[in-house]
Amino acid sequence: MTALRTHASVVASYWDAAAPIFDREPDHGLWEESTRAAWARLLARWVPEPPARVLDLGCGTGSLALLLAAAGHRVTGVDLSPAMIEAARAKLADAGLSGEVLVGDAADPPVPGPVAPPGDQAGASDDPGAIPGVPPAAPGDGWDAVVVRHLLWTLPDPLAALRRWVSLLRPGGRLVLIEGRWAESAAPTSPYGEGAEPLPWAGGVPTEALEEAIRPLVAAWMTVPLSGDPVLWGGPVDDERYAVVARARWARRPEQGPPRLTEILRAARR
């Protein structure tokens, strides 16, 4: 536990120091109307229709949380950095929008997840496609969407974080992972320095690696290339940037049998 607390304090201090200048980057602060509108359009495609319960993990200064709240969603943001959270709260307040932002570990956020149906035990399920260690969710429970942007590279155990995030979704909920690969070195270094744990995906995560990691956890996913749209980033980029948008599995009791094709197609159109 001491090592984990040390890692958390090192990471929080790093991002606290970055918070005052974080929004100077056009894709961080979204201060250009065109950039802001481009991200709003993408979020509208990827997140269920408002008012949805949306969890923004690693929310930073709250730029995406602000767009989601403005679209009519019920947003909760989580970030390890108190300075980032202070900035996010100020953005929402200045815009006259409501939303909850919490200081906490985005890899294991301090928010409730789905409730297992009566009689089900954590980790026990008759569904052969169930995620080990994750109790089945009752319809209507959990988050409608979990949105995570440029966070996985900062985590010492990104695979555990992915499992945790999927476990927070309601059946059929969306996981939106906006990621990239910015360093081509075989062993990119962590920016955090002494006291921090190694980062398996320092420098970003290639598309194929994230697809392989998410494959066993979700019902379906799509990958959206983003490098070719300079408006999103405030100018042209020459590295790998993309989004993986995944749908959580639907919880079914054994007597219901497998979902029929018509049900799957109907869910895909929602």
Query: How do the pLDDT tens digits run along the chain, 270 residues long?
Result: 455 557 899 999 999 999 999 999 999 999 999 999 999 999 999 999 999 999 999 999 999 999 999 999 999 999 999 999 999 999 999 999 999 999 999 999 999 988 765 544 444 444 433 444 444 444 457 999 999 999 999 999 999 999 999 999 999 999 999 999 987 655 567 888 888 899 999 999 999 999 999 999 999 999 999 999 999 999 999 999 999 999 999 754 434 444 444 443 444 444
Confirm whether pTM is higher than 0.75. Answer: yes
pLDDT, tens only, 169-187: 999 999 999 999 987 655 5
pLDDT, tens only, 111-139: 998 876 554 444 444 443 344 444 444 44
Long-range Cβ contacts of 158-164 (<8 Å, 24+ apart): 158/107, 158/200, 158/201, 158/205, 158/213, 159/213, 160/107, 161/106, 161/107, 161/108, 162/213, 162/214, 162/217, 163/131, 163/133, 163/134, 163/217, 164/107, 164/108, 164/109
Amino acid at position 78, single letter: V
